[in-house]
Structure 1
Amino acid sequence: MLVLESDSHPDHNGSVADMALSLNGHSLIEQCTHSIDEEGSMFIEEHLLLFLLEGDLKVTYGKQSLGVSKNEMILLNKGTLINYESSGNPEKGNLFYCLMISLKDELIKSFVTSTDLKITKQLVDVETLPTVQPMDECLIAFSQSLEPFFKNVAKVAPSQLRHKMMELLYDTAVCSDTIFQQILHLQQPVRTDLREVVEKHYATPIRLEELAYLSGRSLSSFKRDFQQTFNMPPATWIREKRLNKAKEMLETTGMSISEICYSLGFENISHFSRIFKQHHGTIPTALRRDA
């Protein structure tokens, strides 16, 4: 996640404690606890979301110097070098405690395509990055929920850690739209095959913005490339594919009409029935009776 050069010299009595939760051999969430003041430099290899839970931290990032206090968070861009100064809370034995969370593209994409939140990527002024934002009660509670994981790292299953990352992203999106929009814009999407993306996802209740994100394109680029590839707008193509899929499901499965309607992303049954008849010449209930 990071390469650290520190000017402090911790002893061997546990004054510095670093533990990590890893997924597929890569550190995902690191816990840093110490009772001595530190200063040094840090090269960030992955986008890093830092939660400060005790103490104070000064971060020099490019031309900016930012102070982070207890129950505040900061998002740091990968491929950069920062200087830092950390100090503990004297009322708690000079304790300094933070969580450093690596934000993998794969996990963010998984969240964007599975969440029930309405996510719209907004314009972010990259010159203002990073910023310090407060943590709300949900994010503080999330941080506390990780304590049992660090007490027995060996027993943490990959599925548990993935679940916790989805929970983190959900809480962050709800808590701070500023930080979450920064997370979306820090990604460097790689363009993938557009046809492969839409063929894989058209039969799920996914929005155009999410398909564009998965294909590594802006929404406008996605629509333009789609028109060139399929010779029709994406909304038209997706609607026809879903209606054909609905007919197949009515004929081959025991799913109810409402289940088929909503599983394919249609807004309501009356709308689904109306456009189904326009496309297939009969209403879904008639097709089901004839099956």
Structure 2
Amino acid sequence: MQTLPTKTTDGLEVPFVNKKSLVLDGYKAIETHTCYQSIAGTLFLEENVLLFVTEGAINIRHGNESYVVGTNEMAFLKKDILIEYESSNGQLYDQPKIEFIVVTLKYDLVKEFIKMAEISVIPKSEAPCVTVNSAGQQLSKYIDSLQLFFIQPELIGCSLVKIKLFELLFYLAGIGNQILEQLVDLREHYRSNITSTVEENIMNSLSLNQLAVLAGRSLSSFRRDFLAIYNMPPSQWIRKKRLEKAQELLSSTNMTVTDICYTLGFESVAHFSRLFKSHFGHPPSEFRMNSLVA
């Protein structure tokens, strides 16, 4: 189950008023969330996921591509990618509110369904990592039908959970095979250690060659796998993250621009200032002054 980390945009624990799961074979197959604060973070997807938003909206970013999943919309999120997400809110009694359901669809379950339903599905040669569509009337009714199961989810057995997942797959097959084609795509999947390697060393002055070695890959394999996960070349993604960290340090510490520059592994102060201005619209020193005034 791919559970969104329960952190607010301020880094605090989200006060979920409802977070319940239906379990199949030891994993959380269907999970419902309701909370009253905005959430944001990053998530590496180890399994294929369907996200249904029933109130509010969730903004998803995969590399340079951005998507909005609004109320009564669903998103297919392909396994072995890293996404950034941030919620927008609906309103209930003048309080911000977001509700969504996450369904994890493992390959073996999908193959069992395809065999049982006698459906012919051929994976596409190129399938998008993220797709957003309207849930439609049938799927919206399906989502509504799940609410009864979340009253006492601990009493719902695995057999019934599997039936509900098969029901979902029947609905998906009825609106076209696109998502089923993505679910049975078994082309090479990318080892998740690439994400931990990069993110643990994001502030270190390591070359791409050194990062590739740490991730157990050749440089070409590292670049290929990184692009598949992040939808962005490694040098561009690392530079973006270092600039975001620089922005944070300029706003929250007394470190000098020079110290920030070399702490984050930039080549020189001039190079750092040029990149920072290009990304944020102001050079570092001016950005700090504006932050102090604000």
Q: Does the pair score TM above 0.5? A: yes
Letter of the aligned partner of 1:165 in structure 2?
L
Per the alignment, in what secondary structure is the counterpart of residue 2 of structure 1? coil
Long gaps (5+) in structure 2: 190-294
- Given the superposition, is the C-alpha separation of residues 111 and 187 from structure 1 closer, same or farther in structure 2, using an over 3 Å criterion? farther
Deviations 1:263-290 (A, max 9, x none): xxxxxxxxxxxxxxxxxxxxxxxxxxxx
CA deviation profile, 1:232-288 (whole Å, cap 9, x unmatched): xxxxxxxxxxxxxxxxxxxxxxxxxxxxxxxxxxxxxxxxxxxxxxxxxxxxxxxxx
How far did residue 24 of structure 1 move?
Answer: 1.8
CA shift for structure 1 position 124: 4.6
Letter paired with 1:96: I
The aligned residue for residue 175 of structure 2 is 175
Cα distance in 2 for partners of 1:33, 1:150 equals 12
Q: Which residue of 2 aligns with 1:152?
A: 152
Deviations, residues 20-41 of structure 1 (Å, cap 9, x unaligned):
1111211111111111111111
Instruction: Show the counterpart of 1:72.
Output: 73
| Equivalent in the alignment of 1:102 | 104
Pair 1:19–1:41, CA change in 2 (3 A): same
- Correspondences of 1:60-139 after superposition (within 5 Å): 60-90=61-91, 93-116=95-118, 118-121=119-122, 123-126=124-127, 128-139=128-139
Equivalent residues of 2:124, 2:182 under 8 A apart: no
Distance 1:120 1:112 in 2: 8
The 8 Å contact of residues 2 and 104 in structure 2, kept in 1 or not, is answered as no
Question: How far apart, CA to CA, are the structure 1 residues paired with 2:67 and 2:121?
Answer: 28
1:81 Cα deviation after fit: 1.8
Q: Distance in 1 between matches of 2:172 and 2:187?
A: 16
- The answer on whether the counterparts of 1:47 and 1:186 sit within 8 Å (CA) in structure 2 is no
Distance in 2, matches of 1:26 and 1:187, equals 23
State the match for 2:27 in structure 1.
Answer: 26
Which structure's CA Rg is the greater one? 1
Structure 2 distance, partners of 1:101, 1:38, is: 19
Q: TM-score, normalised by structure 2?
A: 0.57
Per-residue CA deviation, residues 203-247 of structure 1 (Å, 9 max, x unaligned), is: xxxxxxxxxxxxxxxxxxxxxxxxxxxxxxxxxxxxxxxxxxxxx
Question: Which residue type is aligned with residue 166 of structure 1?
Answer: F
The alpha carbon displacement at 1:184 in A equals 2.6
The runs of at least 4 aligned residues of structure 1 exceeding 3 Å deviation read 186-189
Q: Secondary structure at the match of 1:40?
A: strand
CA distance in 1, matches of 2:149, 2:38: 26
TM-score by length of 1: 0.58
Structure 1 pair 122/150, CA: closer, same or farther in 2 (3 Å)?
A: same
Please say if residues 36 and 87 of structure 1, whose CA atoms lie closer than 8 Å, have aligned partners that are also in contact.
Answer: no
> Is contact 1:59-1:65 (8 Å) kept?
yes
Which AA in structure 2 matches 1:120?
A: V
Mark the runs of 5 or more structure 1 residues left unpaired by the alignment: 190-291
Sort the Cα spacing of 1:26 and 1:15 in 2 relative to 1 into closer, same or farther, 3 A. Answer: closer
For the 8 Å contact 1:139–1:175, the answer to whether it is kept is no
Change in CA separation of 1:35 and 1:43 when aligned onto 2, cut-off 3 Å:
same
Q: Do the aligned partners of 1:133 and 1:176 also contact (CA within 8 Å) in 2? A: no
- Alignment identity in percent? 29
Q: What one-letter code is carried by the residue in structure 2 that aligns with 1:133?
A: N
Partner of 1:253: none
CA distance in 1, matches of 2:179, 2:152: 30
How many angstroms apart in 1 are the aligned matches of 2:96 and 2:120?
Answer: 40
Is the CA contact (8 Å cut-off) linking 1:136 and 1:175 kept in structure 2?
no
**Equivalent position of 2:244 in the other structure:** none
CA distance, structure 2, for counterparts of residue 83 and residue 16 of structure 1: 23
Residues in 1 aligned to 2:71 and 2:125: alpha-carbon distance in whole angstroms = 26
Q: Which residue of 1 aligns with 2:39?
A: 38
Give the number of the structure with larger relative contact order, counting CA–CA contacts within 8 Å between residues 6 or more apart. Answer: 2
Deviation at 1:187, TM superposition (A): 7.1
Q: How many residues align?
A: 185
Deviation string, structure 1 residues 133-162 (Cα, Å, up to 9, x no partner) = 111211111111111111111110111011
C-alpha RMSD of matched pairs (Å): 2.3
